Structure 1
Amino acid sequence: MAARKSSSPKVNTGKPGRPAGGRNTNSGKGARAAAGRAPSTGRSSSPRSASSRNVVAREGGPRGRPIRNSDVRRSAPVAKGLGGEQIEGRQAVRELLIGQRRKVKEIWIAQDIDPAAIIEDIEQLADAARVTVVEVPRRKLEDTARSEAPQGIIAFAQPLEEVEFASLMKKRNGVMPFLVAVDGVTDPGNLGALLRCCDGAGVSGVILPKHRAVHVTPTVAKTSAGAIEHVPMCLVPGLPVAITQMRDKGIWVVGLDDDSENTLFDIGKLATEGICIVLGAEGSGLSRLVRDRCDTIVSIPMLGQVSSLNVSAAAALATYEVTRVRMAEQA
């Protein structure tokens, strides 16, 4: 871990523009820590330092742009694609750097952030990937954030690249497809938690509708704890058609709904074949067309007083039941 140091003067190592063993915080002016680069001018100094890496202490937006209203759109819808350009939260940013699936443009860290091992880890990963890290006032960071608690860190990256639906229906390394399809889930917290469950259970792909469903927002990224960087996702124009295509490829499509006498624990050997678990939004459940296209509908036994589970909790139970059966088959 890189040692944290105060902003007191440092001894120059002879490398232009880089202080010994830390950030370039020359005389109250932030500067890039890349060797041979002259200090920048007119920028506020950083109150903290870490290992030498691409660091800038400034208040502007990514790549030095001043923040404008158009840059901060808390409720702006995703125009197309999966989204995911703004990633907030420590674990989510760390997994972004570890995943290396897409280019990271810049990382913001609050100037007054408390020391933590994960922050040091992020700094080292960013340094290795040559990603610029910027120290900004916490107020500016929180004004830019689109989730409730960004934890003092925001990353800006290229959008997530969706995979082809056809590729998800194929075996991967000799393993039959294990898919999850989401029908009408619009709450970003639910989708993020669901994706985290899918990653943990070894789901090979998640299918999302292009319309009337949430995609990858900063809240989804944060709630998923970085799972968005590891779980393949695709967008389809309509789930009913996608379900028909999966069935044509020999994939069993199992819908999860309260209104069924068959339970999740009855899927048995279906779990060892190609399978897709379809989950509906909490409250409305599966749409009629989606339900009608499924091979079978199963329910989760509810033995207490409440009548249903949150969609992410249902996803955890369903995906781990498939994983349990598959692991037992391999034993």
Structure 2
Amino acid sequence: MTGPLPLDLTSIQRAPKAVLHDHLDGGLRPSTVLDLAASCGYDRLPVDTEQALGAWFAAAANSGSLVRYLETFEHTVAVMQTPEGLHRVAHECVEDLAADGVVYAEVRFAPEQHLTAGLSLDEVVQHTLVGFAEGTAAAAATGRQIRVTCLLTAMRHAARSREIAELAVRFRDRDVVGFDIAGAEVGYPPSRHLDAFEYLRDESAQFTIHAGEAFGLPSIHEAIAFCGADRLGHGVRIVDDITGTGADAQLGLVANYVRNKRIPLELCPSSNVQTGAVASLTDHPFDLLARLRFRVTVNTDNRLMSCTSMSQEMAKLVQAFGYGWADLQRFTINAMKSAFIPFPERLRIIDDVIKPGYAVLIG
């Protein structure tokens, strides 16, 4: 036994990680945005060099407003309208996650936003899944094993959620493991999409809902009480139903229900600061929720906009709250327990990949 490795970004990159909340259109390489814009004739990018474009995305996302944050996706979605664009972005997404030590990923995107070049919804999903598969094979060729699945997202301000839910069920045997709704929360409650959620429950399909990021506790309550969400996308404002920060903290009815039912929270620390859901990383309720034994998970949300990775998110939490290897392992196992793949596969990744990987780091 040599003892645990020091907890720094380099060592964290070696740790096996699982991400449940990563947006495909929020994780492009700046160089890829430029290349695809040139190839498809998109001429509305704000700057024309890789470094400047990466900096622009980060600066534009740091507005403190979810609505302004979402405006940055106009550019990434615009270059993902062709088979070549979807394929390349999906392929590179897998390579980038694997290079960061991610061994399991659920990557989500909204097919309805990729139809302007004439593709059908089914074709959008098919081309994306091919990209994921080829990215997985490319990562394996370099000795990096990763399992990537897909969530199909419906935009909460639109009226296609039932159609996207049916699409998710149609592809459920081809690595589409669940459904999601996303977009601006204010004015677009999840209960507007009850027919989609009722259909999914009838089909025994799993789904998560973006809730408690910008609108607060009422959004979370609707997501679980009316819609039956299996997980909460962000869910950070569950803290509004908790009084106190110590061992004597008091949970309200909604917070108590979420904890008792072990409903996973897909927390995205950097993104939550950028959108104004929390004031700063040190103010993030992640640590309070972890100490109160909510099922917290660490996620990237949008790697391009937040200029981040899973390793960087974990490193920031280590710096902010003093976590050790055992904590990072617990958060990773939380994610795998909450994944939308079958139980035996979840167990295999936990027992054969995550626990042995952390054992090496802990020493």
Is TM more than 0.5 here? no
The structure where helix makes up a greater share of residues is: 2
Q: Which has the larger radius of gyration?
A: 1
Structure showing greater relative contact order (alpha-carbon pairs closer than 8 Å, 6 or more residues apart): 2
